[in-house]
Amino acid sequence: MNQSTNPTGLSDSECQEFHSYYIQGYVMWGVGAMIAHSLVWIWRPWF
């Protein structure tokens, strides 16, 4: 079988899977940053 691959060498389904994990990690990083900033704000407000 001849499967079409992207420039990365991944198939379309592998690209979609990687993208879903990447977005999930980015959202988790954003939530963690919001929590960290909130805790610092509670500890020492900067305004």
Greatest distance between any 2 Cα atoms in the chain:
62
Number of other CB atoms surrounding residue 22 within 10 Å:
10
Query: Across all residues in the chain, what is the average pLDDT?
Result: 91
For residue 2, name the pLDDT band (cuts at 50, 70, 90): low
pLDDT at position 1? 47
pLDDT at position 5? 72
pLDDT surpasses 80 at 47? no
pTM (two decimals): 0.73
pLDDT surpasses 90 at 17? yes
Rounded-to-integer distance, Cα 46 and Cα 41, Å: 7
pLDDT in tens, 20-33: 999 999 999 999 99
